[in-house]
Amino acid sequence: MKLVDFRNLLGFSMLLRVFLIVYGEWQDTHMEVRYTDVDYMVFSDAAALMASGESPYKRTTYRYAPLLAFLLIPNSIFHRSWGKFLFSASDLLVGLFIRIILKQRKVPEKICTYSVMVWLLNPFTFTIGTRGNCEPIVCAMILWIIISLMRGNLSQAAFWYGLVVHFRVYPIIYALPIILVLDSQIFRSGQKPPLEDWNTGQAKTPTSNTENKIFHLNLLTALKSLFSRERIRFGLISGGVFLACNAVSFYFYGHEFLHEALLYHLTRTDPRHNFSIYFYHIYLHYERQFSAVEKLISFLPQFTVQFALVFSFSQDLVFCIFLQTVAFVAFNKVITAQYFVWFYCLLPLILPWSRMKLKWEGLLCIILWIGAQTHWLLWGYMLEFKGYNVFLQLWIASLVFLAANTFVLVKIIQRHRFSPLFKRYESSAVKNVTKLE
Partner 1 sequence: MGSANSYKCSISGAGTRPETDSEEELPKQMGIQRPRSVTPLIFICFAISCLDSTSSAQIGTNYGDSDEILNSDHIPASFLCISDQYIMQSYSTTHTSLEDSEFRNFLFLQECSRKDTDIVVPAISLLQQHRNITGEGSHRTLHTSIKLLVQSDSHLRELVIVERLPLGVFADPFELQNLKQRRAFRDVSVFGDTNLELPSFRSNRSVVEIHVDISSRDYENGEITLKLPLHARYQPLEESGYSRVEFGEPDLFLCSSHVQNRQREQRKCMVLSIGGLKTETRSVVWEIPAGIRDHTEYVSAITFAAAVLSAFSILVASVLSSKVESCKNSKKS
Binding site for partner 1 (CB under 8 A): 32-38, 41, 45, 60-61, 206, 209, 212-214, 216, 270-272, 277-278, 280-281, 283-287, 297-298, 300-302, 304-305, 308-309, 312-313, 323, 327, 330-331, 383-392, 395, 399, 402-403, 405-406, 409-410, 413-414, 416, 418, 435-436
DSSP 8-class letter at 332: S
| 152 three-state secondary structure | coil
3-state helix, strand, coil in the chain (%, to 5): 70, 0, 30
Closest to partner 1 by CB, 105 or 131: 131
Residue 193: phi and psi, rounded to 5, are -70, 140
Q: How far is CA 300 from CA 196, 307, 331, in A?
A: 34, 11, 10
Contact 23, 35 (CB under 8 A): yes
Closest to partner 1 by CB, 51 or 93: 51
CB of 166 to partner 1, least distance (A): 24
CB of 224 to partner 1, least distance (A): 21
CB of 42 to partner 1, least distance (A): 8
- Per-residue H/E/C for 22-86: HHHHHHHHHCCCCCCCHHHHHHHHHHHHHHCCCCHHHCCCCCCCHHHHHHCCHHHHCCCCHHHHH
Closest CA to 136 of 102, 92, 176, 101: 92
DSSP 8-class letter at 389: -
CB of 405 to partner 1, least distance (A): 8
Closest to partner 1 by CB, 114 or 391: 391
Closest to partner 1 by CB, 232 or 308: 308
Closest to partner 1 by CB, 188 or 375: 375
Q: Which amino acid does the sequence have at 345?
A: C
- Compute the CA torsion angle 83, 84, 90, 95 (nearest 10 deg): 180
Closest to partner 1 by CB, 217 or 258: 217
Closest to partner 1 by CB, 73 or 277: 277
Q: How far is Cα 79 from Cα 66, in angstroms, rounded to an integer?
A: 20
CB of 21 to partner 1, least distance (A): 16
Closest CA to 332 of 370, 279, 379, 377: 279
| 227 three-state secondary structure | coil
Contact 257, 308 (CB under 8 A): no
Closest to partner 1 by CB, 229 or 285: 285
CB of 215 to partner 1, least distance (A): 9
Residues 6+ apart with CB under 8 A from 51: 73, 76, 77
Closest to partner 1 by CB, 414 or 428: 414
Q: How far is CA 144 from CA 83, 148, 150, 345, 409, in A?
A: 20, 6, 10, 12, 25
Closest to partner 1 by CB, 12 or 299: 299
CB of 10 to partner 1, least distance (A): 29
Distance of CA 140 to the CA centre of its chain: 10
CB of 89 to partner 1, least distance (A): 23
Closest to partner 1 by CB, 35 or 160: 35
CB of 417 to partner 1, least distance (A): 9
CB of 183 to partner 1, least distance (A): 17
CB of 252 to partner 1, least distance (A): 24
Q: How far is Cα 288 from Cα 5, in angstroms, rounded to an integer?
A: 58
